[in-house]
Copies of this chain bind each other. A is one copy, B any other.
């Protein structure tokens, strides 16, 4: 559905994140059957596997039969010489040197990095540079010196609310490595599920997971998989709230009597651990000890967010304990709990991470604060001497446009006023993917391609911040990510095929390409969901941002400025014609498939937008004014497009709005451009 990128971006290389320094040289290195890759400098089995994977993907992309193993020591004769100059890192650690240099000429390419992780980052850059040129596959000649701006560039994935199988995790780790992310924060327990095998307390997974948990062998497999891609794995076990699933098997941990059952609804719930009993800490010591042995990274996340104190307040024994220990509030009790947990983690060699809520006056300075509340909260932590991460502004489940996330800087907002030594405590950030409305099937399309824009924010210089350039590069990078294995584009076709049922319905693809899905805050009130609800509707097939609408909006602006631009007008006309046809097709489909029925009113709006857009375009191209009242009469239609119907918005509304505005009638106070931006 999407047209080509526009001319202004044609010569920008499709790199994301953009390297710290890059110079283009105008020629290109051809990749053909004679292309030879060599590895010199320090090497070992891990680095060899890294290079083999790179070669396999390059072979798959170009269709070339390339020797799978790089021969040692013959870098002088190679087309691509890969040199690790200092050391191979067996495991990634916070603060690793990830820098590299890449020199590509028409004759050869040299990738040099002090560490194997630097090599990984450089190979990811090369993969993005490979393109089919006029005469062959080629790598443009460039000189690159690159290093990350932040040392902590992560993704938090919630595997508790919807189960995420190992293959889903691994394909997303692969894609993360492609955009140089280096932390996978795995949210492994919540009210709706406990997702790791514990051998010490097996009822955690047996009673609390519906059978959906990672075995310890699988956890080790994922950690090794991530390590080979330069990605650290940080587990999160959210305590003392968000623990209903723990209490199904171990109700004695709770602050109120059981029995408990796995939570099936979304929200914040009362069940909470009892922090006044020593048995609770003995349990945590053994469990966190077991998990500390399983996860090698020194950091360990204990959540600590959204603790309701209703059970604490209703429990006389807890109230007596608080009085006896001078704990004057529920916050003080949680703070006491956190100190105890911190001691347990320290004994097991781990440093604690928690969400904003763990920040209390007596929190040890070794703790790391992950801020979902915003830069002000993060700045406050940094001023007090804590290191921190930004996640506010990076919640991908909110389904906001990439440009919104891209504009959030870990050193922006309230952080800007920090002294340099305070600012240095901001280690980076993490995108968050909470999965109330996200299934293994839809998670890729909720993560990608927008996560690549966040990856750029965390890697590239702060000065790399133009949204137009970001979008121009995001689209080709998005397609490359599918070659690496994530299915954010393919998954839509499968979902639509199921909605269509027995027969394919092209109009459904047109509709899905012109709408944008609601995020968690809008879906929650729209429809009574719980964890058993199927995520198989138009809203689940739709994405956060319509590429097609974005391109057409550019075309509409072009035509508005220059009615003689026939190419832009032709693309608009083609789109409007396709939109017009959708309603009739989907009415027929809606009578046949229950999943399609709710798309009918959405298609009606899109069809009407097609008609209105075509009419507006006629006026503009004939340089006529619209008849009095015509433009005003379209305003309810534009409003309908911006309103949620079947939990989607019609992004095509923004395109038509531009044309109507061009006719001299302000269609909305802010003159917003797309459905997406109307939500910012």
Contact = CB atoms under 8 A, between A and B. Distances in A.
A500 B61 CA distance: 12
A67 B209 CA distance: 12
Contacts of A592: 133-134
A211 B70 CA distance: 12
A391 B476 CA distance: 44
A178 to B, nearest CB: 15
Contacts of A63: 439, 441, 534-536, 540
A483 interface: yes
Given A132-B499, A211-B69, A497-B479, A2 B594 contact: no
Contact of A131 (B3, B136, B502, B534): B502
A523 to B, nearest CB: 15
Contact of A593 (B4, B133, B494, B505): B133
Contacts of A133: 501, 592-594
Contacts of A505: 4
Interface string A516-553: 00000000000000011111100010000000000000
A65 B531 contact: yes
A476 B592 CA distance: 15
A339 to B, nearest CB: 39
Interface in A178-222: 210-212
A14 interface: yes
Given A2-B504, A3-B506, A5-B502, A594 B490 contact: no
A482 interface: yes
Given A62-B536, A494-B482, A534-B63, A135 B503 contact: no
A531 B532 CA distance: 50
B594 A134 contact: yes
A392 to B, nearest CB: 31
A678 interface: no
A604 interface: no
Contacts of A536: 62-63
A502 B490 contact: no
A506 to B, nearest CB: 7
Contacts of A1: 506
A60 interface: yes
B441 A65 contact: no
A64 interface: yes
A33 interface: yes
A498 interface: yes
A504 to B, nearest CB: 6
Interface string A14-49: 100000000000000000010000000000000000
Contact of A594 (B4, B60, B136): B136
Interface in A480-496: 482-483, 489-490, 493-494
Given A490-B493, A594-B132, A62 B501 contact: no
Nearest to A136: B594
A64 B502 CA distance: 19
Contact of A504 (B60, B135, B479): B479
A568 interface: no
Contacts of A532: 33, 64-65
A593 B503 contact: no
Contact of A534 (B5, B62, B212, B594): B62
Contacts of A366: none
Interface string A314-339: 00000000000000000000000000
A557 to B, nearest CB: 19
B591 A211 contact: no
Interface in A117-142: 131-136
A190 B594 CA distance: 52
A490 B489 CA distance: 10
14 contacts: A3-B504, A63-B535, A63-B540, A64-B532, A65-B533, A68-B212, A69-B211, A132-B498, A132-B594, A133-B593, A135-B594, A476-B502, A482-B494, A490-B493
Interface of A: 1-5, 14, 33, 60-65, 67-69, 131-136, 210-212, 439, 441, 475-476, 479, 482-483, 489-490, 493-494, 497-506, 531-536, 540, 591-596
Closest 3 CB pairs of A and B: A63-B534, A63-B536, A4-B503
Given A5-B503, A68-B211, 7 more contacts: A3-B506, A33-B532, A62-B534, A133-B501, A133-B593, A134-B593, A479-B497
